[in-house]
Structure 1
Amino acid sequence: MAFGRRRGILALVPSATFLFILLYLWNINHTPLSASRHPSGGGAQQQQPIKDWQPRPEFSFWSQLPKHYPPTSMRPLPQGRPVRFPRVQATNFPAEASGTRRRQLRERREAVKRTMARCWGSYRKYAWLADEVAPVSGAQRNHFGGWAATLVDALDTLWIMGMKSEFKEAVDAAEMGINFTTTDIRDVNIFETNIRYLGGFLSAFDLSGDVRLLRKAAEVGEMLYKAFDTPNHMPITRWDWQSAARGHKQEAPASVLLAEIGSLSMEFTRLSLLTGEPKWFDAVQRIADAMAAQQDDTSLPGLWPLAVNARDAIFNEGTLFPLGAMADSAYEYLPKMAALLGGQLPMYKTMYEKAMNAALKYNLFRPMNPTGEDILVAGQVRADGRGKFNLDPEGQHLVCFLGGLMALGGKLFERPIDMDAAVGLVNGCIWAYKSFPHGIMAETFYSIPCNKSSPDARAVEEAPCKWDENVWKREVLRKAGRDTDKDAEALAAAADTVIANNRLPKGFTSLPDRRYILRPEAIESVFVLYRVTGAEELLDVAWDMFTSIEKATATELANSEVRDVTSPEKPKPADSMESFWLGETLKYFYLIFSEPDLISLDDFVFNTEAHPFRRLVAA
């Protein structure tokens, strides 16, 4: 289906009025907050609400709609003093001591910036104010509401890379060209809108102090808040916004994905901290309270099932427990909420520790690999409800985020076992990258757990297992649905055929999804582990990743998702470039080659779309 420029099928602001508004707004003098009111560097103390944040009346439709189920109570923002967490970032970065290395890092981040400039230039030329530019054809795509997802997602990247004129042009366009009262899509994905748009505007405001960005964030926040107008105040994650706009009553669905309901807390809380309006914090804290109350009562205590019941606020029924796709950021936000709020709500530390204790015991495993590397992969677990847990050893590019998360949690909460796991997980993703012919890992893969026979993995405490070619080949045949009841010679021959036909690297038993979709999770965790440890070798790992990705995905216009990273030739492009390429992947590549005090992890915490928010830190 072809997508054109953003057009509203239910224009809540009449077109003539909206055009007048645009002309009026063009003539307003926009003055960013001064550095004294909103400093651009260093840590923050207890947040003082920003004045003059209210959206302009022309864009206040959602806040003016009547509420069918107004809350009978409102939880206030925490008013205590931030606790003093341990330092997250290393105190010593050996790479910073070498003049030669510093020059090399400057060249590397300039290379990343050139890729950003090429992609941004194509977006500006071919798809301005659309969600995405197609990197091969130059077509416009609107998958996320038609609210300029690439523009908003990339705002803080532009600022961080020093592309200030591009940043200003984008802010000007966002203020007057993005209208959150109209969209071509019927169902708004609340999770994606939250992490990309609300997160993007909040982060860009935190960095620049331009109050226009906080106003746009509030516009998004008011729209998203309407999705919580249900009998139990649980949100509708795939939201029929047209029905809500017409004043119809709503009810949260009986089945929602864990990540989509459990990953709203950082953005809503930051918006409340900046505005002083507690309703957003109150809305997401209700979700966190329900999750915390039921965390010990699931089929795998400590973890929540993949799908939960929002209609009845039931978070403990279900048998599948992944850490990756569709569950990931619900876990990611636990230590990050602790950091964001300066530790004022101890429940987030408790929830994180329970979750990671369970993950360490059941989800993490050591994959058998030909070089015997001491690495970890996170799989998903199926519980039978009677105390038996079966590990499904599927690895995902997306679950590579976990290494960075456990490094952050390990430092914040002084858990050495998490730091050990973080190193193993990051090395596991590095191993996967290096194993494929283009130096890029596949979207999903299967391997053989060294502790396959044990339901109690306790992966970080077990010694690595030795490589066994016959075991690998037998599992390759089994995953391919072939007969494994053969003598050794026939089995090896049959397996060699499957391995050749499917282009399986050694150690991988199947590749359900061979794409690379410009994902950030591997470089995200490499970046975090570098900032936490100062390990210089990670800089070269990151550079190898960047050059491999650039070589495989670069087009004349930008960079494209590719269909098959096992292809002997340059992988075929899919003509797709999601906004997270500019909002996340390139940002993390740029930051790892930058000075460690640029977006320090002791001052900022990243949302799941790589938007840095200022932490509350002890004075």
Structure 2
Amino acid sequence: MPPGFRRSSSWKRNPTHIFKFIAAAFVLFFYFIFTVFGESPHAPRNGARIQWDGFINGTGVVDEPRAARVVEAMKHTFWTYKEHAWGADMILPVSGHKSNKRGGWGATIVDSASTLAIMELWEELELAVNHIIEGIDFTKTDDLVDPFETTIRHLGGMVSVVDLWDAGIIPKKVISREKRDKIVKQAVILGQKLGPAYDSPTGLPWPRVDFMTSKGVPDPRQEELQEDGKPRYAHPTIGPARAGSNILENRVLSRLTHNPIYFQNSTLACYYEYLLKITLLTPQDRYTPMYKKQWERAVHSLRDNLASRNRPSATYMTQHLFLGKRDDDLDINTQSQLACFAAGNILLGGAHLQKPSFIALGKALVEACHHTYASTPTSIGPEKWAWSPKFGVRDATVTPETERQQAEWANAGFWAINPSFRLRPEYVESLFYAWRITGEARYREWAWDAFVAIETHCKARYGYAGLKDVMVASSADGARDEAQMDESESFWHAETLKYFWLIFADSRVASLDRWVFSTEGHLFRMIR
């Protein structure tokens, strides 16, 4: 008999060995499947691990009741839109009317598709995909096209769905290979139509594109008249924030089509959030070291020049770290909801680059945004607020002017400049990063508090609506309707609800070690 044959025959006498062997084989098999194809929390694609190590031990399990509540909110949002405004860019959630100000291509449908996919709402996703490939003609629109909004909502939404399909997240029985390829085709058409935006002397995109003439044009809202009566444009290009928020979407489109032109169009435009994220998406890019360095310099500058703590009042002694603005040498002590995104971005970079000081800064900024939610009558933060800086009220550009503002400052250390709420995602986005990166349960609780508050005050007959004044709580239905604004942007579906759900989902879903999120909350795969 061949050597070893007799030893193997002992397995027949002891079946336990066989079962152990089979079990070990299954473990190795599924480990291989998850690490190569699935959403394994192990082995980040590049750099240091981003998500908290403790999730490996099961602490990041799904909170099923809360995740289910968010899914119900998404269903209410989708189906009221489907019934009353299908094909329009947005539904007006209080009146049920339609709105078309994003090209008329159904921005809500395209923008929400990646959220439907990760929530596994397959019936809704199939309807959305069918509209994308059959109901949209990206060559036609009655309006000038905003390349920034169109890239982050439409182009980003489509290439994200394709990336999710390629990763096996979307079953082939929901979207066939043929439909997947048709989505890519639509993305290519849109990418080509947006191309003239980058045909400018500076390389920064024009603020608008005329699809009829295939030319980039100034924003007509900036139009002024010269002395001879002819139109002139004071600012025919756009700032770096809007200019740079396209590099991820175009890079993914280049990867999907094997055509570098889309990425080449966007490489001249830099934006701080995306400087970090492009290093995660394409770590081998030759510009990655420059992107990292520039992003780090921006964080240091933000910390040293924009961040300030509030001066305690006679009744509110706690201090929070807010983000102000600079206008030449003038410090402006106001912050908006939009700026709350910075906390999550700094946490992401701090984890990736292993910089504890950045983690501490990001956490402090999250806590400040949380305070603006926790201290209002609605438990929802205002669109814009101000504070008296700790270094002295005489140095403050903005001071409380009304009795209400003085009372708000005395009670909470800040006062509302614009008390509205527009369903913005930035605070929830930063809670998502804080939860996934630190593993601290308080961020899940803060997210739940915010979701319940929005459910209480913003749910409307035809979706979810913004609020006119978060400093006034209205519980009765009639009063609540009066308190709501008849608007609901597509980022409510694409970002706000997505981040809420991901906070309560299993931490292995859309792991930060495998996926990069765009400024509109769309997921793109990290590729070495």
TM-score, normalized by length of structure 2? 0.80
Contact 1:130-1:147 within 8 A present in 2 as well: yes
Q: Distance in 2 between matches of 1:497 and 1:373?
A: 20
Q: Could you say which residue in structure 2 is the equivalent of 1:217?
A: 187
Unaligned runs of 5+ in 2: 1-32, 167-179, 218-232
Unaligned runs of 5+ in 1: 1-35, 44-81, 289-329, 384-388, 456-474, 481-494
Contact 1:218-1:271 within 8 A present in 2 as well: yes
Q: Could you say which residue in structure 1 is the equivalent of 2:302?
A: 359
Contact 1:94-1:536 within 8 A present in 2 as well: no
What is the Cα deviation at residue 213 of structure 1? Answer: 2.1
1:397-412 equivalence runs, <5 A: 397-412=337-352
Q: Could you say which residue in structure 2 is the equivalent of 1:89?
A: 51
Q: Distance in 1 between matches of 2:306 and 2:237?
A: 23
What is the Cα deviation at residue 110 of structure 1? Answer: 0.3
SS of structure 1 residue aligned to 2:273: helix
Residue identity in the other structure for 2:434? L
Contact 2:464-2:488 within 8 A present in 1 as well: yes
SS of structure 2 residue aligned to 1:512: strand
Q: Distance in 1 between matches of 2:190 and 2:398?
A: 50
1:223-372 equivalence runs, <5 A: 223-231=193-201, 233-244=203-214, 254-288=236-270, 330-344=271-285, 345-369=288-312, 371-372=316-317
* Equivalent of residue 142 in structure 1, options 100, 111, 124: 100
Q: Distance in 1 between matches of 2:425 and 2:397?
A: 29
Contact 2:140-2:211 within 8 A present in 1 as well: no
Listed one character per residue, the Cα deviations across residues 204-231 of structure 1 (whole Å, up to 9, x for unaligned) are 1111232222222212211111222345
Q: Measured at CA, do residues 132 and 40 of structure 1 come closer, stay the same or move farther in structure 2, by a change above 3 Å?
A: farther
What is the Cα deviation at residue 401 of structure 1? Answer: 0.3
What is the Cα deviation at residue 421 of structure 1? Answer: 0.4
Contact 2:316-2:412 within 8 A present in 1 as well: no
* Equivalent of residue 530 in structure 1, options 401, 424, 435: 435
Q: Distance in 1 between matches of 2:363 and 2:465?
A: 30
Q: Distance in 1 between matches of 2:147 and 2:307?
A: 30
Q: Could you say which residue in structure 2 is the equivalent of 1:422?
A: 362
Residue identity in the other structure for 1:182? K
What is the Cα deviation at residue 498 of structure 1? Answer: 5.8
Residue identity in the other structure for 1:224? L
Greater helix proportion: 2
The percentage of aligned residue pairs carrying the same residue is 32
What is the Cα deviation at residue 512 of structure 1? Answer: 2.2
Q: Distance in 1 between matches of 2:98 and 2:410?
A: 36
Q: Distance in 1 between matches of 2:245 and 2:386?
A: 27
Residue identity in the other structure for 1:273? R
Residue identity in the other structure for 2:273? E
Q: Matched residue pairs, number?
A: 454
SS of structure 2 residue aligned to 1:286: coil
Q: Could you say which residue in structure 2 is the equivalent of 1:448?
A: 388
Listed one character per residue, the Cα deviations across residues 308-355 of structure 1 (whole Å, up to 9, x for unaligned) are xxxxxxxxxxxxxxxxxxxxxx22111101101125321110110111
Q: Distance in 1 between matches of 2:394 and 2:354?
A: 29
Q: Distance in 2 between matches of 1:540 and 1:561?
A: 22
Residue identity in the other structure for 1:284? S
Listed one character per residue, the Cα deviations across residues 432-482 of structure 1 (whole Å, up to 9, x for unaligned) are 101111000100010112135899xxxxxxxxxxxxxxxxxxx899531xx
Q: Could you say which residue in structure 2 is the equivalent of 1:553?
A: 458
Contact 1:476-1:510 within 8 A present in 2 as well: no
SS of structure 2 residue aligned to 1:549: helix
Residue identity in the other structure for 2:461? E
Query: Is 1:204 equivalent to 2:161 in the alignment?
Result: yes
Q: Could you say which residue in structure 2 is the equivalent of 1:591?
A: 502
Contact 2:340-2:366 within 8 A present in 1 as well: yes
Q: Measured at CA, do residues 477 and 41 of structure 1 come closer, stay the same or move farther in structure 2, by a change above 3 Å?
A: closer
SS of structure 1 residue aligned to 2:251: helix
Q: Distance in 2 between matches of 1:227 and 1:532?
A: 37
SS of structure 2 residue aligned to 1:227: helix
Contact 1:88-1:601 within 8 A present in 2 as well: yes
SS of structure 2 residue aligned to 1:92: helix
Q: Could you say which residue in structure 2 is the equivalent of 1:579?
A: 490
Contact 1:605-1:612 within 8 A present in 2 as well: yes
What is the Cα deviation at residue 579 of structure 1? Answer: 0.4
Query: Is 1:41 equivalent to 2:38 in the alignment?
Result: yes
Listed one character per residue, the Cα deviations across residues 110-161 of structure 1 (whole Å, up to 9, x for unaligned) are 0000010011001111111110011111111111001110000100110111
SS of structure 2 residue aligned to 1:188: coil
SS of structure 1 residue aligned to 2:145: strand
Q: Could you say which residue in structure 2 is the equivalent of 1:438?
A: 378
What is the Cα deviation at residue 286 of structure 1? Answer: 2.4
Residue identity in the other structure for 1:162? E
Residue identity in the other structure for 2:205? P
Q: Distance in 2 between matches of 1:132 and 1:497?
A: 34
SS of structure 2 residue aligned to 1:381: strand
